[in-house]
């Protein structure tokens, strides 16, 4: 029996129509386009303006895009993993709702939350289900409506985040393509540096927590930046060494789109030329769980079967890591 590897066989994406530019942010907080661009690489981000639509709307749209492009019946999906930091509700699983709305009624579904590393960790999880031999089609969706937890009077966070969703399909591969190796880590020291203070069991929602604006994301930018630069670069370098890969062997780096300076530092550690580093942060900002699949969607046309791709991410908690994957198809 041939060894089963888990390969990405289809990609889909969705971003809202509304564009929030740096120029628009200048009218909202004390900032300017030059300052934002030089420090983050972000020029604009997409915002889901509809108050009656949540993360599930973004996820469904991205999944529908994938299913339509790949001509797949949703009834064929065995499992749906919903990577998100902004579920529609605290208890009812967003992934379960998404699966039902898609018509993927033969699939079981659940949410996976590891902040900005959610999709990366979801790749590992989806691959393990495929490699077990029990499941043939695993749909992994990364989606976040970050505008729902951003304070648009806080210039340290409102300039960074945007809304969006991306999806990939994992299927068995018998050619040795797909996920090859991973290095995933976490450290609870990050709990105090990137968080939402209220709304959980530790500090439940109350009149006071709402009045004191404790339901929006806050971060210690300098600390998060320092840990992100170090850990994304370290994990990527370690993965290369462990698999006897050089910078020449790597075709593409797909990094979490949090900050261009973090991406540059990771690429420099790997000694990669700029043309191999894939970025769309200028268009979308940090869409948290959606950054990696949005990059895959935007650059799917450049990937060739057999290409070596390194994924890297860092998120609150802290969570981080890298994945080494061999691309499995040429786009038709």
What residues are labeled active site?
A: 116, 256, 286
Whether cis (ω within 30° of 0) applies to the bond prior to 318 is yes
Give the helix/strand (H/E) hosting 325.
Answer: strand 319-326
Pairing of strands 178-186, 319-326: antiparallel
Tokens of 55: 């993360």
What token pair was written down for 291? 């950054």
Selection from 281, 82, 77 nearest residue 165 by Cα = 82
Residue 278 CA to residue 311 CA, distance in Å, equals 10
Q: Determine the straight-line distance between the first and last CA of the chain, rounded to whole angstroms.
A: 30
3-state DSSP assignment of residue 15: coil
Structure tokens at 329: 């198809």
The DSSP result for 127-171, as a single string, is HHHHHTTS-S-EEEEEEEEGGGS--TT-HHHHTTB-EEEEEEEEE
Give the list of residues 6+ apart from residue 45 with CB closer than 8 angstroms, or none: 19, 20, 161, 162, 163, 283, 284, 285, 287
Q: 164 with 287: CB under 8 angstroms?
A: yes
Kindly state the DSSP code that residue 296 receives in the 8-state scheme: H
Residue 24, both tokens:
């628009």
CA dist 63 → 11, 14, 77 (Å): 9, 9, 11
Instruction: Evaluate whether 141 touches 296 at the Cβ level (below 8 Å).
Output: no
């Amino acid at each position: 029996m041939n060894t089963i590897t888990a390969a990405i066989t289809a990609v889909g994406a969705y971003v809202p129509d509304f564009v929030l530019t740096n120029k628009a942010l200048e009218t909202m907080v004390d900032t300017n386009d030059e300052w934002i661009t030089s420090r983050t690489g972000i020029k604009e981000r997409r915002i889901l303006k509809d108050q009656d639509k949540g993360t599930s709307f973004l996820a469904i749209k991205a999944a529908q895009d994938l299913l339509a492009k790949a001509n797949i019946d949703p009834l064929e999906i065995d499992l749906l993993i919903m990577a998100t930091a902004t579920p529609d509700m605290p208890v009812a699983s967003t992934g379960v709702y998404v699966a039902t709305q898609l018509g993927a009624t033969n699939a079981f579904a659940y949410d996976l939350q590891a902040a900005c590393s959610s999709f990366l960790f979801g790749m590992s999880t989806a691959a393990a289900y495929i490699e077990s031999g029990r499941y043939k089609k695993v749909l992994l969706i990364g989606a976040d409506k970050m505008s729902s937890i951003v304070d648009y009077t806080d210039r340290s966070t409102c300039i960074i985040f945007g809304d969006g969703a991306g999806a990939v399909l994992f299927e068995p591969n018998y050619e040795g393509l797909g996920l090859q190796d991973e290095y995933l880590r976490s450290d609870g020291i990050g709990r105090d540096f990137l968080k939402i203070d209220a709304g959980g069991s530790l500090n439940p929602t109350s009149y006071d927590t709402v009045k004191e604006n404790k339901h929006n994301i806050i971060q210690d930018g300098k600390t998060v930046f320092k840990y992100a630069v170090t850990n994304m670069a370290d994990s990527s370098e370690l993965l290369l060494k462990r698999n006897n890969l050089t910078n020449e062997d790597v075709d593409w780096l797909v990094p979490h789109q949090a900050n261009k300076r973090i991406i540059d530092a990771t690429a420099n550690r790997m000694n990669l030329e700029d043309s191999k580093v894939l970025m769309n942060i200028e268009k979308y900002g940090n869409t948290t769980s959606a950054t990696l699949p949005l990059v895959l969607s935007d650059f799917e046309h450049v990937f060739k079967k057999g290409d070596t791709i390194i994924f890297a991410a860092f998120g609150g908690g802290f969570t981080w890591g890298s994945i080494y994957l061999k691309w499995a198809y040429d786009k038709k």
